[in-house]
Structure 1
Amino acid sequence: MPKLVDHRERRREVARATSALIAEAGVGAITIRAIADRLNYSTAIVQHYFSNKRQLLLYTLRMEGSLGHHRIEAASANDPGDLVGMLAAMMPLDLARTKSWKTWLAYWSSAMLDPDIALEQRRLFDSLRSLITHSLRYHGRGSDLRRDIDTELVSRRLLALVHGIGMEAVCHPDDWPPDRQLTALVDEIRDLTGLDLHDGFAEERERLRRGL
């Protein structure tokens, strides 16, 4: 009796291998043959799911974006006001998130030349800004958030901050250990919004210590 194959999981397996290779060697290293060799599959198996490199790259980008979005949603699921936890979920604070960042950085160069990749990134960034805005408005129901801020603009600035710190931390990890990333994040949130979230800083450090 032929072995049953979970085709959805097989596609994800191929995409995970693609993401790992991108993190290691960049988008230019991706070929159908390279992914097949990495998984010890024939090229025919990989091409059954992705007929060409472009399909493979777009699917992998969507998968990485979905995983990142779910990670960020999970960080604020129990506390919509956990702005530090939400933003920290986007930052390269551990090996798994650093790998994701290396993949994303490789895609950014492709986005300048490929409108479909650029569109996928824009959709993800729009959804992330929406989550940040929601958290800021949650704080706005109390008295801690500064009343004069534009939550949409601050959301953009916070996302840009995360991108800047993340890029620096991936390229110069010795200069940006996790504590320094978190300290810069909390300080900038305070300067932009008036929120003192050092309790969130302590909670995130504890999560990192416990490997959560």
Structure 2
Amino acid sequence: MAIDHEKRRHDIATLTIDMIAREGIEAATIRRIATEAGFSTTAITHYFADKQELLEWAFQILAHEGERRFEDARKEEPHDILAALMTLVPWCPVNIRRWKAYLSFWDQAARDPDLAAMLAQGTGVGFEFLRQLLRTRVRPSLDIEPAAEMLNAMIQGLALQMLVDPKTWNEAKVRTTLADAFELAILKAEHPKP
């Protein structure tokens, strides 16, 4: 049976994301990943030249997962803004895993310009998602960029609080907070300060 090399690359990257979410980027060595995958280190380096390339590939997979969740929520319930916003915060096991991995990548990006550039690109996609949501409720002539920036900051701050204090930030409270944040962003877009 032929080996599906793209699937194997994807599987290795997914395993790397899982390890990063559990233990951080430093734990995700080629040797540990190979051991966990049941491969030799040579098998891993056959697909990825080094850890940097593996991390970059893993981040792309991680970002694609988040994009897909948002897009699926928009397709399933096009008018449900809250469902789309919930895909952006760590309220369920899938999103918690993604956010824990994101935090590790952000930490690494503070010292790695290549990874920082990738994260900036991913953040740009996130901003576009927020713009899409705001455009559903704000007149097209209004500048929504400050509102999207504020909403992004609120979502990121909320996500951090959810990760460190999940008992306080139950699903109902998160939904209410996101709904309030979205309404504040709309107000900001409709009534900008001079």
Give the TM-score of the pair, scaled to structure 2. Answer: 0.90
Q: Distance in 2 between matches of 1:134 and 1:192?
A: 13
Partner of 1:111: 109
Partner of 1:66: 64
Deviates more, 1:69-78 or 1:12-21: 69-78
Q: Distance in 1 between matches of 2:24 and 2:68?
A: 24
Partner of 1:161: 154
Q: Where do residues 141-160 of structure 1 align in structure 2 (5 Å cutoff)?
A: 150-160=143-153
Tell me if the contact between 2:21 and 2:97 (Cα under 8 Å) persists in the aligned partners.
Answer: yes
Q: Distance in 2 between matches of 1:192 and 1:135?
A: 11
Residue-by-residue CA offset, 1:2-21 (whole Å, 9 max, x unaligned): x3111000001000110010
Residue-by-residue CA offset, 1:174-211 (whole Å, 9 max, x unaligned): 121121111111112223325xxxxxxxxxxxxxxxxx
* 2:177 alignment partner AA: A
How many angstroms does 1:83 deviate by?
A: 2.3
Q: 1:168 to 1:38 in 2, by over 3 A?
A: same
Tell me if the contact between 1:83 and 1:132 (Cα under 8 Å) persists in the aligned partners.
Answer: no
Tell me if the contact between 1:81 and 1:139 (Cα under 8 Å) persists in the aligned partners.
Answer: no
Q: Provide runs of 4+ in structure 1 moved above 6 Å.
A: none
Partner of 2:34: 36
- RMSD in angstroms over aligned alpha carbons? 1.7
Partner of 1:206: none
- Structure 2's unaligned 5+ residue stretches are 188-194
Residue-by-residue CA offset, 1:114-165 (whole Å, 9 max, x unaligned): 11111111111111111221222222359xxxx9x63111111111111111
Q: Distance in 2 between matches of 1:135 and 1:184?
A: 16
Partner of 2:45: 47
Q: Distance in 1 between matches of 2:14 and 2:103?
A: 16
- Structure 1's unaligned 5+ residue stretches are 195-212
Q: Distance in 1 between matches of 2:181 and 2:40?
A: 50
Partner of 1:99: 97
Q: 1:63 to 1:72 in 2, by over 3 A?
A: same
Partner of 1:77: 75
Secondary structure of the residue aligned to 1:128 is helix
Q: 1:182 to 1:74 in 2, by over 3 A?
A: same
Partner of 1:7: 5
Partner of 2:185: 192
Give the TM-score of the pair, scaled to structure 1. Answer: 0.83
Tell me if the contact between 2:77 and 2:83 (Cα under 8 Å) persists in the aligned partners.
Answer: no
Residue-by-residue CA offset, 1:18-72 (whole Å, 9 max, x unaligned): 0010011100011111001001111111111012111111110011011111111
* 2:23 alignment partner AA: A
What percentage of aligned pairs have identical amino acids? 28
**Count of residue pairs the alignment pairs up:** 187
